[in-house]
Amino acid sequence: MSTYKLDYLDQLESEAIHIMREVAGQFERPALLFSGGKDSITLVHLALKAFRPGKFPFPLVHIDTGHNFQEALDFRDWLAESLGEKLIVRYVEDTIREKKLKEPTGRNASRNALQTFTLLDTIEEFEFDACIGGARRDEEKARAKERVFSVRDEFGSWDPKLQRPELWNIYNGKIHKGENVRVFPISNWTELDVWNYIKRENIALPSIYFAHERELILRDGKLLATAKGVIQQEETDEIVTRRVRFRTVGDISCTAAVESDADTLEAAIAEIQATRISERGETRIDDQVSEAAMEDRKKGGYF
Amino acid sequence: MDLLRFITAGSVDDGKSTLIGRLLYDSKSILADQMEAIERASKSRDDGEIDLALLTDGLRSEREQGITIDVAYRYFQTPKRKFIIVDAPGHIQYTRNMVTGASNCQLAVVLVDARHGVVEQTRRHSLIASLLGIPHLVVAINKMDLVDYSQDVFSNICIHYNELAQKLDVGEVTYIPLSALNGDNVVEKSANMPWYEGEPLLSYLETVELDHDENLTDARFPVQYVIRPQTAELHDYRGYAGKITSGIFRKGDTVTVLPTGETSTIDAIEVAEKHFDEAFAPMSVVLHLADDVDVSRGNLIVKSDNQPVVSQNVEAMLCWMDTKPLKVGNKYTLQHGTFRTRCAVREIIYQLNVNTYEETEDVESLKLNDIARIVLKTAKPVSFDPYDKNRVNGGAILIDETSNVTVGALMLRKEAI
Ligand SMILES: Nc1nc2c(ncn2[C@@H]2O[C@H](COP(=O)(O)OP(=O)(O)OP(=O)(O)O)[C@@H](O)[C@H]2O)c(=O)[nH]1
Ligand SMILES: [Mg+2]
């Protein structure tokens, strides 16, 4: 009997492909939100498995905060181009200008909150009824509570006390006009599952995921990338050169680097296996402002 | 490596979230910054003790009220197995969230507070676990520290629970006395209960036999999506994309498309553009048929020599999950895998008393959290297997046609006469 058994990575892969195909089957105008990070790169790989030799039934959509790593942007363009898939980019910069939004200033200011406006505008512009995202439940305690099909009202809000029941592998994507569904195919994957999968499938990643020498700002014990106009330098900041890699790739302003010699996938995986600090704890600056930062952002329409 | 999905169930405050916290803590699966975060959050509480339940109670209102509201998912791994843990709320108001969490699990840990024994929610959750066909059941008698680790208390609860289990359709039940708060019999065997000869919870979870949980007999393939590139070089390509929900398909198999009844042969089985001679549940694949039959989303492809029930009159067990009552005559959308049809409630055969498991007849409507046996008349025929034979092809949901919310969980049983 044991020959008819799927390894856990195959089980997770099959679950994710099934979820993506449900999106294709149930929605008129879906989109795949692509950030250039490893989780969304994994989603693209899963979409290839779900839909090739056909085209993706959705465009890749990137909400560019203007604070992205150049390596991630180059990778994004290369990937969309080499797959021959449609890429839509919308800029937070434009939203700020058009809506006369006030940019957060000061210490650890980031455009993370403003990103939500651009996302909601983009959803409206293209009338997207479903947006696929690479969030995982193991990332954060509010995410640990979210359904695979997460229904959002016309303001994009998540109501954690009123989530739809979601049974077996039956996904209910029925919504009213104006509402949309955020769909998370890799909900049940851990950080390590993603890395093991990337290795097994030989998936290409932007170079910043691997150890390289870089000039950085040392602030409160965290290493931030230097970037003109993104991070305002302070007197107490120290500029250092270190060998680092990024464990997650978000905005420059809220993603810290980790010191590392891991320049191969094997070495990166070994480091992640040995670490005693979570992915977000080590690298994200935006979640540490308050206990319920993520829950609040999701209620406001964030991913 | 194996993957085990399990849920903790039982009444409010019986210690479900604490148990998961303890399991993660004692198996060294909590990372340093997550531990610091719950230490910080615990400090703001009255007693200042570290509250391991905070590892899963992640919502603001859960932390404020000290209860679980919706299911939380946690992931951990030992050298033997990978686990997906589902922490369910015990509060009756949130039963539908427990049903959500339990539907995908292979094992349930039902907690019982040693001081209170079996209570209504224990019975309700056990009933739901049995209706959902969860193959493995552990009864964890918790808070043994508050009853002097008494063997008598433990044995009495076991006897009591066993009476209840007799009335339910559950397989073997394993009983473990433990203290989630102190960690007795969670990861390590407890020195406080030398009279207990069994293994601690984690060793049980690591070794429980899972090989027979997947149905490999009845080949079922709900079509999700048709891949048709329609390019010059792939002009005739037509692949049916979906996930095999049970059984095994092989190249050359004679298959029937339901509900239309057209037959054909499997020409090719593809996964990510590679060809295979066979594929089995729960693989996501693309099937190609030899003939030009009409197949679209919502159809079920099965092996012709093993067919499910195809009917417009369906008898089912129902967990009702909406605050608006279900009444005989009401219309809903039924979703069974990828297939949707409108349906009407023809009859409520009986309602199950969640306490006594007695059947009450002559019921005209159901309230939130009620459980009943009903008959549905559907607009189009449903191709299903009895739920107890096939969990995936026997499950369906009801969707409210105005709110679009999922309002009922259906365990399809048989064709109604
Ligand atoms: N003395 C003692 N207290 C316990 C034990 N397990 C849990 N508790 C306490 O019981 C209370 C409730 O624990 P929780 O883990 O939140 O209970 P729960 O079952 O998750 O509750 P809901 O999710 O709201 O249904 C907390 O104060 C725990 O500290 C135990 O083994 N011994
Ligand atoms: Mg709880």
Question: Which H, E and C letters describe B367-393, residue by residue?
Answer: CCCCEEEEEEEEEEEEEECCCCCCCCC
pLDDT tens by residue, A259-277? 888 889 998 899 888 887 8
B22 in ligand 1 pocket by Cβ < 6 Å? no
Phi and psi torsions of A91, nearest 5°: -110, 130
pTM, entire model: 0.93
Burial A41-77 (b: 16+ CB within 10 A, else e): bbbbbbbbbbbbbbebbbbbbbbbbebbbebbeebbe
pLDDT tens by residue, B307-321? 999 999 999 999 999
**In sequence order, what DSSP letters do the residues of B31-97 get, joined into one string?**
-HHHHHHHHHHHHTSSS----GGGGT--SHHHHHHTS--S-EEEEEE-SS-EEEEEE---SGGGHHH
Please report where in the chains the tokens 């969707």 appear, as a residue. Answer: B399
Tell me the CA–centroid distance for residue B60 and ligand 1, in Å. 18
A29 and A175: one domain? yes
B16 in ligand 1 pocket by Cβ < 6 Å? yes
Nearest to B31 among A52, A137, A278 (CB): A278
A259 and A124: one domain? no
Report the pLDDT averaged over residues B83-100: 93
A151 and A212: one domain? no
Does the structure show a pLDDT above 60 at B108? yes
B297 CA: distance to closest CA in chain A (Å): 7
Report the pLDDT averaged over residues B86-104: 93
Is residue A3 assigned to a domain?
A: no
Tell me the CA–centroid distance for residue B16 and ligand 1, in Å. 6
Asked if the domains at B2-207 and B309-415 fall in one CATH topology, the answer is no
A244 and A167: one domain? no
B14 in ligand 1 pocket by Cβ < 6 Å? yes
Residue of B nearest to A57 (CA): B227
Class of domain B2-207: alpha beta
CB contact under 8 A, B335 and A161: no
CATH of B309-415, one of 3.40.50.1980, 2.40.30.10, 1.10.3720.10, 2.60.40.790: 2.40.30.10
CB contact under 8 A, A144 and B73: yes
Nearest to A18 among B74, B284, B399 (CB): B284
A117 and A214: one domain? no
**Residue bearing the bigger pLDDT, B48 or B301:** B301
Question: What parts of chain A have a pLDDT lower than 50?
Answer: 1
Supply the pLDDT for residue A273.
Answer: 84
Supply the pLDDT for residue B50.
Answer: 81
Q: What is the ipTM of this complex?
A: 0.94
Supply the pLDDT for residue A1.
Answer: 41
Does the structure show a pLDDT above 80 at B203? yes
A176 and A63: one domain? yes
A136 and A215: one domain? no
Which of 9-48 (B) contact A at CB < 8 A?
31-34, 37, 41
Is residue A199 assigned to a domain?
A: no
Tell me the percentage of chain B whose pLDDT exceeds 90: 82
Is residue A2 assigned to a domain?
A: no
Other beta carbons within 10 Å of A176 = 11
Is residue A254 assigned to a domain?
A: yes
**Residue bearing the bigger pLDDT, B102 or B273:** B102
Domain ranges of chain B: 2-207, 220-303, 309-415
Which of 268-287 (B) contact A at CB < 8 A?
271-273, 280, 282-284
Mean residue pLDDT across chain B: 93
Q: A239 lies in which domain range?
A: 205-287
Supply the pLDDT for residue B43.
Answer: 74
- B201 forms beta bridges with none
Closest listed residue to residue B278, CA positions, set B370, B216, B327, B321: B216
pLDDT tens by residue, A75-85? 999 999 999 99
Tell me the CA–centroid distance for residue B56 and ligand 2, in Å. 8
Domain count within chain A: 2
Report the pLDDT averaged over residues B63-76: 88
Q: Does B97 touch chain A (CB under 8 A)?
A: yes
For residue B100, the surrounding DSSP H or E stretch is helix B95-102
- Which ligand is nearest the CA of B52, by number? 1
Query: What is the Cα–Cα distance from B397 to B336, expressed in whole angstroms?
Result: 7
Q: Is the domain defined by B220-303 classed in CATH 3.30.565.10?
A: no
- The CATH number covering residue A88 comes to 3.40.50.620
Q: What distance lies between CA B153 and its chain's CA centroid?
A: 30
**In sequence order, what DSSP letters do the residues of B58-76 get, joined into one string?**
-SHHHHHHTS--S-EEEEE
Mutation pick from B29, B106, B227 vs chain A, by most beta carbons of A within 10 Å, is: B227
Tell me the CA–centroid distance for residue B106 and ligand 1, in Å. 24
Question: Whose Cα sits closest to atom 2 in ligand 1?
Answer: B143
Q: Does B333 touch chain A (CB under 8 A)?
A: yes
Considering Cα of B298, then B299, then B303, then B305, what sign does the dihedral take? Answer: positive
**Which chain A residues have a beta carbon less than 8 Å from that of B41?**
291
**Residue bearing the bigger pLDDT, A164 or B60:** A164
Q: From the CA of B18, give the closest atom in ligand 1.
A: 15
Query: What is the Cα–Cα distance from B143 to B387, expressed in whole angstroms?
Result: 35
CB contact under 8 A, B406 and A165: yes
Is residue A27 assigned to a domain?
A: yes
Choice from B54, B74, B181 to test ligand 1 binding pocket (greatest atom count within 8 A of CB): B181
A26 and A167: one domain? yes
**Which chain A residues have a beta carbon less than 8 Å from that of B96?**
165
Does the structure show a pLDDT above 70 at B358? yes
Is residue A200 assigned to a domain?
A: no
B376 is written with which tokens? 């549905």
B52 in ligand 1 pocket by Cβ < 6 Å? no
Considering Cα of B182, then B187, then B191, then B195, what sign does the dihedral take? Answer: positive
Tell me the CA–centroid distance for residue B67 and ligand 2, in Å. 5
**Which chain B residues have a beta carbon less than 8 Å from that of A17?**
243, 284
Closest listed residue to residue B296, CA positions, set B343, B227, B397: B227
Query: What is the Cα–Cα distance from A222 to B114, expressed in whole angstroms?
Result: 47
Query: What is the Cα–Cα distance from B356 to A62, expressed in whole angstroms?
Result: 55
Tell me the CA–centroid distance for residue B323 and ligand 2, in Å. 23
CB contact under 8 A, A49 and B406: no
CB contact under 8 A, B214 and A25: no
Report the pLDDT averaged over residues B201-220: 91
Nearest to A54 among B228, B248, B321 (CB): B228
Supply the pLDDT for residue A218.
Answer: 80
Helix axes A265-274, A191-201, angle to 10 degrees: 160
A92 and A220: one domain? no
- B285 forms beta bridges with B242
Query: What is the Cα–Cα distance from B283 to B271, expressed in whole angstroms?
Result: 9
Does the structure show a pLDDT above 80 at B46? no
